[in-house]
Structure 1
Amino acid sequence: MEKESLRLGIDVGSITAKIAILDQCDEVIFSAYRRHNAEPLLTLQTIIQDAKQSLGDIKIDLLVTGSAGLGISEKFNIPFIQEVVASAEVVRQLYPEVKTLIDIGGEDSKMIFFNADGTPDIRMNGSCAGGTGAFIDEMAVLLNVSVSELNDLAEKYTRIYPIASRCGVFAKTDMQNLLSSEIAWEDIAASVFNAVVLQTLATLSRGNFPSPLILFSGGPLTFLPALKKAFMRVLDGGPDSVLDADNTEFLPAIGAALANSSNKQEIVLTQLTNLLNTEQKHNSLDQNRLSPLFEDSEKYKRWKEAREQHQVEKIDFKQLNGADCFLGVDTGSTTTKLVLIDEQGRIAFDYYCNNHGNPIKAVREGLEKIWQMFAHLDSPPKIIRSMVTGYGEDLIRTAFGFDEGMVETLAHYRAARSFDKEVSFILDIGGQDMKAIFLKDGHLQNIEINEACSSGCGTFIEAFARSLGFSVSDFAQIACSSRAPCDLGTRCTVFMNSKVKQAQREGADISDISAGLAYSVIKNALHKVLKITNISALGDHIIVQGGTFRNLAIHKAIENLLGKRVFCPEIAELMGAYGAALTARDTCIRLGRIESQFVDFENLDSVGEYTKKQIGCRGCENRCAVTKLEFKNNNIFYTGNRCEKIYTNSGKRERIGTNLPELKYQLLFDRDTNPVSTPVLTLGIPRALNLYENFPFWNTLFIESGIRVRLSDPSSNALCEKGVGTIMSENICYPAKLAHGHIYNLIEAGVDRIFYPMVFYEKNEFINSINCYNCP
C-alpha cells in the first residue's frame, strides 16, 4: 500500500520565508523560518534542501502562500492560497474557540473576526506598511540596536510617548525629537510598540473590537513579547483573553498545508528542488528602463576625476601652533559633523559620525579627537568662537556651552557661497530633511524645505541598501556600473518597496535597482517633495551638498536629469558644520574678538553629564511629563514640554504676552451647561471639529430648551486611543480620528443623546472669505 503523502505549506512574505510540513495527524514534523534578504527563491531552495536532508526525499502535497509566494506560484505554476484564508483555515480546524486573530508580518498586517457560526470577517492593511515588521526594523536601526534588543528595552519602560506609526518617516522624526530630548531609550522602545498597536487597530478594526479569545501570530508577535504586551495593554485584556499556541510564526504556512484544496500539487522534494532551479524568462525586463548613469567605465573614471578636483583649502593641524581657530558643529537628525578652521577659513580638522541616538556622546567624541591633536602641539591653538547648527542645536549648545546657534539653512548657504560667489541654486539633502535655496545676484530669493515626506532623503537610500544586504557605499558603487537602471517611479518608501520587489521578481540585476533608486531619490526631491517644475529657474551655478551626495550615483543622477553640470564639494557632508565655522569667523571679524564661552577641553570627561529630574507640568490639560536636565556647566535644558509657556530653553523673556489660545478656550467653554428648570435629558456634545467653535450657540439653544449639556473631556492622547478602533477609513485625518475618541468619551459618560449635526456650510462672515465650507 502506497504511503499517504505528507503536506507542505510554503509561506514566502516580503521579508521572511517559512515552511511547515505536517503529518497525517496535523502535527508539524518540520519547520523553518528565515529572512530571505531580497532573495526569496534562493532562501526557499535552501530550506527545501534542509527538509530533504531531515526527512528524506518524501512525497508531499504542496500549496504556497504569501506576498512573494504569489510570484513563485506564477513563475512555477504551483497552486496558491491567499495568506489570510490560510490563517483562517488554521483557526477553523485547530482553534475553533478563537474569536479574533491578529497577525503582523514583514510589510502587512491582518485581523480576522470570527462570527458565532465560524465565518471569518477578514481585514488586511492596504498600501501602507506602517505598523508592521518592516516598520519595527526601521526603528531598531535608528536606535542602532537589534530587534530583540529593542524588545528588551521596551520591557523596562516607565512612560509611553506618542510616535507616529502610519509613516516610518514621521516616526523617525518623532523618535529624533525624543532622542535629542534625552528621553530614556526604554520609553522610546515601548512607544514604538505602542504606535504599532494603535496603527494596527486603527487600520483594521474599523468598528469591530477584538474580543477574546485572541490569537496572535506572525514573526513580530511571536518573537517580541513586549509587542504582545502592548496589544493587551491597549485592549485592556488579561492573560485569559489570549490563546497561547505553538508555531504561531508559521501560521499561514500551516494553514496552506491544512487547506483542503482540490488543486494541491503532489510532488517529491527532489522534483520541487529541480523545479525551483528552472530558469525563467522575464518578458518585461527590457521595459521601464532608464538611461545608464555612465555609458562606460572610461567615462565614469573621467567624471570621477573631475569631481575630485573640487577641493576645499586645508591646512596641516601642526601649523596651528598658538593660532586662533573657529569651530562649527552640525548635529543632524542622524549624523554629527565638526569642522575646525583657521583665520583664513582653511580646514584644519573635520569629523563625521553617526549619532546612534546619542548626539551628546557623538559631539564629545569629536571634541576629544580635537583635544588629542592639540596635546601634541607646543602651543595649542585657541578656539575663540564656536557655532552650532542642526537638528539638536538647542541641546548641544546647552550641554557644551557653544557661543552661538544658527539656522542650518543659512549655514549651508554660507558654505556654498565660499565655493561659488555666483551660486544660483543650492540643494542640500541630509538624512531626513532637504533644503532647496534659490538665489539671485548673491541674495536669497526663496527657501523650500520638505515638510512631511523624506522619500528623497539619505535614509531613503540607506533603508533600501540595508534591506538588500548592502552597505550604502557598496550599493552606490554597483549603481555606477548599471547598464539599464530600473524606472522605480517617484513614490514614498512603502510604494517603492513593491516596485523593488517587482523588479527583483522580473530578474533585474541589483546594480540596475540601485541606479534606479538613485534616479528616484532625485526625482522625489525635485518633483514630489520640493515640487520644482521649472528647471531653468535653478540657473547654471548649482551646488549640491549633504551626506546623501557622498553617493556618486545620486550626484550623477541629478546631472543626467537636469542636463547640467552640478558642483558637489568634496566636503558635501560637512557643509553645514563648515558654514557654521565660517559664520563664527565672520562674527569675530564684524564684532571683534569676544571671550568664548566654550567649555574647557580639559574637562571634557564630565561635559554632557547631567542630573535628571521629572517635573509634572500643570500649565494646561496636556499635563506634560517634563524632564529637567541640569548640566555640570550649570546650564538647564527642558525636554518633553510641548510649548514654552512654563518651561523654556529660550532664556528669560522680558515680556510675556497674552496666551490667546487659552483666552479663546475660556471664552468658548467657561459657561453654565445646566438649564434653570429640571432637565428633560442630558445631551452630549463632542469638543471637536466645528462643534468646538460653535459650542456657545448650541449650548445656549439647549439649556434654554430645558436640556442639560455634557461636553466631552478635553482632547488628549488617551482620549484619541479610546476611539481609534472605531474608525472605518485608514486615510482619515487626525482631527477626525480624535472626534471618534470624543464620541466614545460621551458614551462612557452615559449621556441620553449625542448631538452631532452635519453642518457643511456656515454663514460667510467676511466678504473676502474664500470658502465657508466645514469639514463635518
Structure 2
Amino acid sequence: SEGLESLRRAFGVPSFTPARFSPGERVEAYLGIDGGSTSTKAVLMAPDGTILAKSYRLSAGNPLDDTREILRELDEQVKSQGASLAIRGVGTTGYAKDMLKETLLADVAIVETVAHTQSALHYHPEADVIVDVGGQDIKVIFLKHGAVKDFRLNTQCSAGNGYFLQATAEKFGYAVADFADAAFRAERLPVFSYGCAVFLESDIVNFQQLGWEKEEILAGMARVLPKNIWLYVVQEPNLAKLGRTFVLQGGTQHNLAAVKAQADFIRTKVPGARILVHPHTGESGAIGAALEARRVVPHGRTAFVGIEAAALLSFTTTRDESTRCNFCKNDCLRTFVDTKPPEGDARRFIIATCEKGMVESLDDLRKVKGRFDRIKKENPNLVEIAGDAAFRSTAVRKKEEAGDPAASARPSRGTARWLSLPSARARREKIRIGIPRVLNFYSTAPFFVGYLESAGVPFRNIVFSTETDNKMYKEGSRRGSIDQCFPSKAVISHVHQLIQSSGKKGKGLDLIFFPALINLQSPLTNTIAGQACPTVSATPSVVKAAFTKEGDLFAEKGIRFADPIMHMGEPALLDREMWEFWRPVLRLSRKEHAAAMEAGWRAMDRFANEIQRAPARALLDRLEAEGRVGVVLLGRPYHNDPGLNHEILVEIQKRGYPVFTMDSLPTDADLLGRLFGGEVEAGAIEGPMDITDVWKNAYSANSSWKIWAAKFTARHPNLAAVDLSNFKCGHDAPIYDVVESILEATATPYFAFHDIDENRPAGSIKIRIETIDYFLRRYEEGLRRGKSLEAELEERVRAYRAE
C-alpha cells in the first residue's frame, strides 16, 4: 500500500480540473484532435498553451461520428458555464488525421510522431526518448536537438499494447482502472516470455493451470511490458545510448503497474535515468495537434467549419466495386467519404493507397501528374538520374550537346575498331553480353560499357537486367545463401532474369559478365585501402554456385558465366586483368585494348563530373540563393536502385526536396575551401578529402566515402542527410555512430533507415517520410529567417556607410 502511494506521488498523472469561465465570456482556444485507432481524443488549448478542456472517447467504429461527439462535449463544457467558444485554429493527428482535416476543414494535419514529440517537449523540453503506449500502437521516439531522430512502431503486432492489458484485466473481472491495485496485491509473479500476444495468451492459460492467481498474472503481464517495448518492438537493449530523460505517455501510462515496470526496466539499463510521465498522458497527441495549430494559424484566421456546422455535417461512406481504382493494374478498392455541410457544397474525401487513387477522373490524374512533374523538374533526384545514367551508352553524340538527344551515336574518341580484323569485328558486333544491374555496377558500369563500346560491341548487345522489383525478386530468390544482405541476395534474381530472358526477342546471351571487384577507386586521401565489401566481392561466386549446384543452368542455356577478379582501385593491375579476360573473348589487339581502357576511364570521368557533379553544383548554388534545403543520400552505390531503397528518395522528392547522391557532391576547389579550409589551415586534416580526423580505419572504400559525404553535408547549411543501410551490413554497422556524431555536431537534420531488407513496410515508411518532411520544413523556415536577417543587416550596414 505504501509502495503504491509513493508510486502515485512519483508517477501518477495529476487529476485534471477543467477551466472555469464567467457567464458571457468569449473563450478563444485552439482545438487539437487525435483520431486514433481505438479512441478519439480532443483538447481545447488557450493561446498561452494552457489546457482548458479535454475529452476522450473510445472508438465506436467511425472517426467522424466519434469526433462530432467529442466536439459536442467540449462545446458543452464551455456553454454550460454561460460562456461562448471561439476556435482560433484546428489541428488533427492520428490515423484519421487527413480525413478529419478535409471534412472539417482543419488548418493543419500532422503525423503522430510529430504531434507526440511537440506535446512531450512542451512539458519536458529536455526529453531524449518518448515512450508512447496506446490502445493499439506502441511508438518509441528518439530525439536530438528537439527533433525526431528515429522511431520504432509495433506495426500490426499487439504485444504489450493497452488494449491487450485491458482485455486481460476484464477477463479476470477487473476494470482497467483497477489493474494496478490488483497487480500490487501480488507477492510473487510468473515470468512471461516477451513477444507475440498469441504466446502471451498461451502463457496465461499455462500459468492458470499451474495455480497462479489472477492478480499475480496481471503483475507478470505488467512486468513483461517493457521487454515487449524494448526487446520486441524497438529491438534495442542498449538504452543508455539513447539518452537519460524518458517521457512516458499514451493511455496505458495511467496504469501505475505498467509505469513501475517500465521505470524499473529503464533504470536497470540507464542508472540515474529521469523518468517522467506526461501530465495529460492520454491526450498527448491531441495537445501536439493543438500546439501546431497555434503555431501555423495566423491571428486566429481558421478555415474550420465550426462546431455547430460539424455537428450538422452529414456524410456517407462507400467502399464497393464502384469505388475501385482503374488507373493502374493493381485495381485497388478505395473508400469514398462524402460530406455535406448544412450550407455550402458537398465534398468527397478518398482513402486510397497511392496518389493516383486520390482522384476520380483522367483529367484530375493528369493534373496530379503535372504537379509531380513540375516538382521533379524543380527538385531533381540525382539518385534516380545517376541510377539510370550508369547503364546507358557512353558513346559521344554529335548533336547531344546542342540539345538533340535523338542524334545518332558514334564511337567514343579513342576507339580502335579500325585496327581489328574483319572476323574479330564481326564477332564483336554479334556477341551479346549480359550484365546484372546490381551492387557496385551502379558506380562502375560506365567504365565497362565504355570499354566494350570502344572495343566494338554495340550498346544494343549489352543487356542489363531491370531495376529490382518485388516480382523479379520473388521469381529468382529461391536459390542461394540465406545469410547475405538484401542487395546481395537480390543479385540472384537479376541473374535469373538474364538467364530466363536469354533467347527471347532475338539471339540469346553468349556471356554473363559479373566480375568480383576486390577494391574500388576513391578520391579520398590518407586512407589505408579502398576495399570493396567482402560479401559483395564474393557474391559472383555465390551466384555461380546457385545456378550450377543442381545442374548447370548456364550450360543449358548456352551461356558462359564469367566472374573474373578485378581491382578497380589499382589501374595498372586492372589493365592487365581486363586484357587477360577480354582479349580472347573479343580478339583484341594491344592497341585496341589500350584505346578501350582509355574510353572506359573517360566514361567514368564523364559520369562523375558531367552527369553528377556539374548539375549538383548548379543545384546547390540555387538552394543557397533560395534558402532551401536538399537531401543527401548517405548509402552505397546500389541504393540508387529504387527497388533496394524502397523508393524512399522518390517520396522525399515528391515533398519538394532535391536529392543528391554522395558521388554528386561537388569537389570544386572554391566550395571545398569554403567548407574545409579552416580545418586544413588549422592542421586538423591534410586536405578537404581527408577523413582521418574522424575515422582512422579507412580501409573500406564505400564506408570511407560515406563518412566524407557526412562531413560535407554537416558543413553545408543547405543540406540534410538520409542514411540508408541494409540488415546485416557489416561494413555500415561500425560507422553508424561516426556518421551520426558528425552530423549532430552541427545540428544537421539527419534521418536513418537502417536494417532495410526485402520487406517494404509501407505504413512505417509513410510515417517516416511525413516526419522528415515536417522537420525539414521547419529547418527551411530557419534558413530563410537567417537569410532575411542577413539581408536586413547588410542593408543597414550600407545605409550606415552611406551616411
TM-score range, shorter chain: 0.3 to 0.5
Q: Could you tell me the TM-score, scaled by structure 2's length? A: 0.46
| Structure with higher helix content | 2
TM-score (norm 1): 0.48
